A and B are shown apart, each in its own frame.
Chain A
C-alpha cells in the first residue's frame, strides 16, 4: 500500500508527507537505533516511539518509506524540520506499536 493509504488506515496525523505515493513493502518496529539500522529493510514502515532528530538520519540510511511515531508521541520541531529538508515521510498515531502493526497487517 502507499504511505497515504497507510496514514488513512492508522488514522494518523500527517506530520510530513514528502512522498505520499511511495509504496510500503515491509513492516519493522524498534526504538534502539542501532538495531533499527542493522535490521530495518528498505521500503518499510518503521514503527517507533523515538522522537528525536536522529530518527531522520536512521530513516535516510535505511531508506524506509515512512516513520510512524506511535502512542501519541510527537517529534520535536527540529525533527520535523529535518524531515522536511530530507524529504522523509513521517506520521503520528495514538495507537500502540502492536495495535498499529496488527492494523497494517490486516489491511494487507
Chain B
C-alpha cells in the first residue's frame, strides 16, 4: 500500500524546539482531513516520545509513515536504552532529574500515555545501544 513517508531530526536537550516534529505531522494530518480525535491521539503519543528522546537520549529520529487507514511513527534513538521496560511503563516511574521536573516533565506518564493513546505500541531497547518506539494509530 502506498504511503507518505516523512523524517525528522529531534535535537537532544533542546526544550524549545521539542515537539516540532509532532506539530509538523499534526499539520500534515489536518491537511489530509484525518479525524481530529485520531490526530489528537497520535499527536499526544508522538509528543511524549519526542520529549523522551530530548530528555533521555540526546535526540534521535522520527520516521513517519502515513497510510490510507493508519499512521505509523517510529522514534529511533541511540541513547542509553531502557533497562527494565515493564518498570518504565509503570505510571509514575521516572528517571528524570529535578531540572526536568521543573519544566513540567518527568511525571512518569510518558510511556503510559503512549500506550493509552495508540492502537499499537512497541518498545525495543538495548542498554547502551538505544531505543526504538513504534506507535500506530488506526484512522476511524
Seen from chain A, the residues whose Cβ lies within 8 Å of a Cβ on chain B are 31-35, 37-38, 42, 50, 52-55, 57, 60-63, 78
Contact = CB atoms under 8 A, between A and B. Distances in A.
Contact of A34 (B22, B23, B43, B105): B105
Given A34-B113, A35-B109, A57-B23, A52 B103 contact: yes
Interface of B: 15-16, 18-19, 22-23, 26, 36, 40, 43-44, 47-48, 103-105, 107-110, 112-113, 116-117
Contact of A53 (B15, B116, B117): B15
A61 B43 CA distance: 6
Contact of B16 (A33, A34, A53): A53
B19 A78 contact: no
B47 A37 contact: yes
Nearest to A82: B16
Nearest to A63: B40
Nearest to B45: A37
Given A38-B116, A53-B15, A61 B44 contact: yes
Majority secondary structure of chain A interface residues (helix, strand, loop or mixed): helix
Given A37-B48, A63-B40, A52 B104 contact: yes
A55 B19 CA distance: 11
Given A34-B113, A37-B44, A57 B104 contact: no
Contact of A50 (B15, B22, B104): B104
